[in-house]
Amino acid sequence: MNLFVDIFGYLSIILHGLVIVAQSMTLGGLSFLLLLLLPLAPSLARGASLERRVLRLTCTAAAGLILAELATTALQVAVLMATVDLPLGNVLQASFAIAGGVKILCAALILAGLNPRTLASRGGRLALLLVGVAELAAATFTTHAYARLDDNALLLAVEGLHQLGAAIWIGAIPAFVLVLHHLDEAQGLRQVGARFSRMSMAGVACILLSGVTMCVFYIGDWSGFYGTAYGVMVGAKIVMFLALLLLGLGNFRVTERLRKGQVAPVLRMRRFAEVEIGIGFTIFFAAASLTSVPPAIDLTADRVSLHEIAERNAPSWPRLSSPDHDSLAISQLQAQLDRDAERHHQVAQAATVPGSGVLPPRNAEDIAWSEYNHHWAGIFVLLIGLLALLGRAGVGWARHWPLLFLVMAAFLLVRSDPEVWPLGQEGWWAAWRDVEVSQHRFFVLLIVLFGAFEWSVRTGRLRSARAALVFPLLVAVGGAMLLTHSHQISNVKDQLLIELTHTPLALSGVAAGWARWLELRLPGRGGRIAGVVWPICFMLTGVILLWYREA
């Protein structure tokens, strides 16, 4: 049971992130069709073809929303039935199950109505719009606003406005990129660019207004920003939102030049929009993480102070020597259990059982062990960024820098979880029951894929342009997943202080991944600048890791 609950805690964040992505793409695609493409289709040379393509994309998103919401609701129902021993009929009457059912129904109705015949009639378009509003309303009942005792109606409206803004801006960008890819007429580009720019500005206004309001009601004061997990995650969302605004500003300048009939870098607009999609989806997963923690305003105790943050991050030389494995708390506890069992002629119990829900013991040597791992990982990442810059400068042997990823992956696989094979007593397969171990192994797999693909690309073994995109995508995904990573530490303040380090690591990873994407996809000066930015992001990541402290 504890294993099921632990898995639920992490898996629910991932599934909820997928739900937000699919919902935003569904509603965004629908708004793109109703507000932009259908009104402009008669004046576009390939209007009918573009409509069919956006229809397929939106239908795919609606189908994904049905599947993701089904999985999320089923998981929640299963956990509730297992933990409180309620029959299925009673559980299905819970607010989350009703909201999930409404969302699934609305998504199915949108999927059924997304066809040329329905869109051709005014009544059909109005019906789709109303179903979209119902979908959005049901989604607000799965947010923090529904559980608030005060200002409930206001916060529900604000949450709905926030999700609406995300849909008509970020959720509609995939449809915008699809249209730009197949639209080559200057007049059509001017029309589509200008109208989508207005849609985006409306979405930004919705997000800003609702975001500021939620900060007031959910965070309250400045200490809530830096002193709670909720505030730290909101801060990460704000940083990524500002990055989106900068990219959007670049695209707005392109659309203005198009509107005035001037020559404009349309390809750059497409590439910036692709990066907006990636960063926007990362924000959605950060939003999903927020649902797993209480609002900052409700956490008045155990907040981290600025003094504690400064004390934890005081300059200190990296820890480059490791404590003995036998000195770790788990090893000492296991040794004691072994001695007791031998004395009583019994079979020794395991000091820890993966997936049991019981936090493993920690001592000063465990902290030193973890810091050693982070500091050496920082050295690896710092070297990777430096060698990538040297390789860009023309140093031939430096192009083999991706092989350092493989060395780092082997290092982390052995040392990340000392209670697990090959250092600990827990077997390789049994350890998968532990959610934190599974997350660590997922990151190791990403690192191996980083190295293998990028080395093959750098040495010419893989010549496909798509293969080269694997590295930036995995780096960006790794950064996004780091936002959902959690540590099994009982002390709330220690856990938050670690998250304060991991959040800039995640943001740096996201920036590095999408900068490398631009280097590959954007010719000219913009690509060259991005080619310098992403190795610097890696070096910054290395410095942050070298600065990492747990005590």
> Which pLDDT score, from 0 to 100, does residue 487 have?
53
- Given this model, what pLDDT does residue 1 score? 46
Beta strand extents in 416-457 (DSSP E only): none
The one-character DSSP state at 434 is S
Q: Which residues contact 196 (CB under 8 A, 6 or more apart)?
A: 32, 36, 172, 176, 255
Three-class secondary structure of residue 544 per DSSP = helix
Q: What is the pLDDT at residue 278?
A: 96
Within 8 A by CB and 6+ apart from 484, the residues are: 10, 13, 14, 17, 285, 288, 289
* Element spanning 138, H or E: helix 122-140
272: nearest Cα among 546, 467, 527: 527
Q: Is 245 exposed, middle or buried (0-12, 13-18, 19+ CB in 10 A)?
A: middle
Condensed to tens digits (0 to 9), the pLDDT of residues 406-453 reads 999 999 999 998 888 888 878 777 777 777 788 888 889 989 988 998
Structure tokens at 409: 């992956």
Q: Report how far residue 235's alpha carbon sits from residue 245's, in angstroms, rounded to the nearest whole number.
A: 15
User: Which pTM value belongs to this model?
Assistant: 0.90
Coil, helix or strand for 317?
Answer: coil
Tokens of 323: 């404590």
Query: What is the number of other CB atoms lying within 10 angstroms of the CB of residue 463?
Result: 9
Mean pLDDT over each residue of the chain, to the nearest integer: 89
d(CA 71, CA 65): 10
Low-confidence ranges of the chain (pLDDT < 70): 1-9, 354-358, 485-492
Give the count of beta carbons closer than 10 Å to the beta carbon of residue 321. 6
